[in-house]
Amino acid sequence: MKYAIAVVGSGPSGLYVADALVRQWPDASVDVFDALPTPYGLVRGGIAPDHQNTKAVIRALERTLARDGTRFFGNVEIGRDLQYDELKGAYDLVILSVGAEHDRPLGIPGEQLPEVYGSAAFVGWYNGHPRYRNLNPYLGGASLAVIGNGNVALDIVRLLAKTPTELATSDLSSHAAHAIANSSIRDLYLIGRRGPVEASFTPIELAELGELQRCVTLVDPAALSATVGAHVPEKEIKVRQRNLDILRGFSERTIDAATMRIHILFYAAPSSIVGDDHVRGLLLDRTRLEGGNALRTGEQFELAVDTVIAATGYRTVSPPGVPFDEKRGVIANTDGLVEDGVYASGWCQHGPRGVVGTNRTDATALIKRIAADLEQTPRSPGKPGGAYVDRLLAERAVQVVDFEAWRRIDAAEVANATHPKPREKFVTTEALLDAARLAH
């Protein structure tokens, strides 16, 4: 049966779903929309630029986009260029895979100060996401705090601590490379509400903090008396133990000739950001753990910092008209089903957790579910799909970036890079669209 299917979002979840759809229904036409002129979501705009091996998953995602019967509609935002109702009218099935791209507020006083940034914005800035090109985060002070105890927080402190030489083989955007090279920051604080056992670091990323050229990573040995306790799920025990071992190694270090320091602070919950017009410090409550939960003890301390980055979570912004679960910050759905013929997958379905590969497992499960739904309540294909959408977008003068146009952007970015940098990203929509038009 030849279904016309729309997938909204070309991040890992959208593309793994597109792949699974074609495996399930080889005749289906699958149109993948993305608001950006570039595909791959957070693989391009989130994963750290010095982790090029992780970004290699793009090769597999690219094969999906290049497949006959699958079309890429880059630079088409649902809610701006096409409406959700129009999509439902044009396609037999719609899969929403729009991610969770926006920062969750910290919810503490002082958050509105100019030197406070969410990690989505900060990571987007160094990764060349057009939305954050002009963020210009303040890196002119002596110290910066990153709130959060996950891999995103590790990525941020690691990149800020690296030298230009260490970053030479990354695809860090030039504006960010320049700002980081010229930053005066000497002390980076990584702050977690809970303890070393509860931190959701992965050991490989944590260990990288011990291998930096100009920076030493320090942790108070008193914070490491914890043991991997009963509240840790069985499958996590090894990882948490490994993290503890790595942290114990850090705790034995002293401040030597290093010009920068990363201080890992546990059992500290932010209470407010201090400052009138500018950030002067961060007020923290000491915490203790009860059953894995952090409880504030009433004891406070202040850190003098000039910049604060909150790496404490993301929420989805869904296109207008899509049912939304305000409490969870995701598209309202029951095991992926949003409404008749509409499903959600990836971070916009279950929130921001899991690695790239998790989206693949989720996609397989979702397609099984869709197939079961269709068996129970058959729908006959017959909606007009891409041909109708092409007409609408042409009437609206939207410059659609198809797969070939994306390949032109890709080639130009690679050609513009100076060895050993793998690519020099275009960081504005205009520059991306200009590159897409080349040789047209």
Ligand X SMILES: Cc1cc2nc3c(=O)[nH]c(=O)nc-3n(C[C@H](O)[C@H](O)[C@H](O)COP(=O)(O)OP(=O)(O)OC[C@H]3O[C@@H](n4cnc5c(N)ncnc54)[C@H](O)[C@@H]3O)c2cc1C
Where do contacts with ligand X occur on this chain (CB under 6 A)?
Answer: 8-14, 33-36, 41-42, 46-47, 51, 54, 77-79, 97-99, 101, 123, 152, 155, 319, 346-347, 354-356, 359
Residue 192, SS3? coil
Q: Which is closer to ligand X, CB of 19 or CB of 155?
A: 155
Whole-number minimum distance, CB 429 to ligand X, in Å? 12
Rounded-to-integer distance, Cα 1 and Cα 370, Å: 14
Q: Please choose, from the candidates 72, 46, 77, 49, the residue with its C-alpha nearest in 3D space to the C-alpha of residue 61.
A: 72
Compute the least distance from the CB of residue 285 to ligand X, in Å. Answer: 26
- By the 8 A CB rule, do 154 and 209 touch? yes
Cβ proximity to ligand X, 220 vs 402, nearer residue: 402
161 or 218: CB nearest ligand X: 161
Of 101 and 306, which has the nearer Cβ to ligand X? Answer: 101
Closest by alpha carbon to 27, among 4, 46, 54?
4
User: Smallest gap, in angstroms, from Cβ of residue 152 to ligand X?
Assistant: 4
CB of 209 to ligand X, least distance (A): 15
Q: Indicate the residue type of 150.
A: G
Q: Which residue number, 47 or 268, has a Cβ lying nearer to ligand X?
A: 47
- 51 versus 286: smaller Cβ distance to ligand X: 51
In the complex, least distance from residue 7 CB atom to ligand X, rounded to whole angstroms: 9
The neighbouring-strand residues paired with 31 are 6, 71
Cα 424 from Cα 427, distance rounded (Å):
9
**Closest separation in Å from C-beta 371 to ligand X:** 21
CB of residue 276 vs ligand X: minimum separation in angstroms? 31
* Cβ atoms 305, 143 nearer than 8 A: yes
Q: Which residue's Cβ lies closest to ligand X?
A: 11
Going through 275-362 in order, the beta strands assigned E by DSSP cover 281-290, 293-304, 307-310, 314-315, 324-325, 330-331, 337-339, 342-344
CA angle, 302 as apex, 296 and 304 as ends, to 5°? Answer: 145
Phi, psi (deg, nearest 5) at residue 44: -85, -40
Token pair of 132 as six digits: 């954050």
Q: Which helix (H) or strand (E) holds 189?
A: strand 187-191
Question: Two tokens at 87?
Answer: 């999509």
Least separation in angstroms between residue 135's CB and ligand X is 14
CB nearer to ligand X: pick between 47 and 412 = 47
H or E segment and range at residue 103:
strand 102-103
Angle at 4 between CA 3 and CA 8, to 5 degrees: 130
Give the whole-angstrom CA distance, residue 93 versus residue 378. 12
**Distance of closest approach, residue 78 Cβ to ligand X, in angstroms:** 4
| DSSP per-residue letters across 118-172 | EHHHHHHHHTT-GGGTT------SSEEEEE--BHHHHHHHHHHH--TTTTTTS--
**Residue whose CB is less far from ligand X, 148 or 281:** 148
Q: Is the dihedral of CA 429, 432, 438, 440 positive or negative?
A: negative
Residue 218 or 436: the one with the smaller Cβ distance to ligand X is 436
Nearer to ligand X (CB atom), residue 272 or residue 358 = 358
- Smallest gap from Cβ 319 to ligand X, in A, equals 4
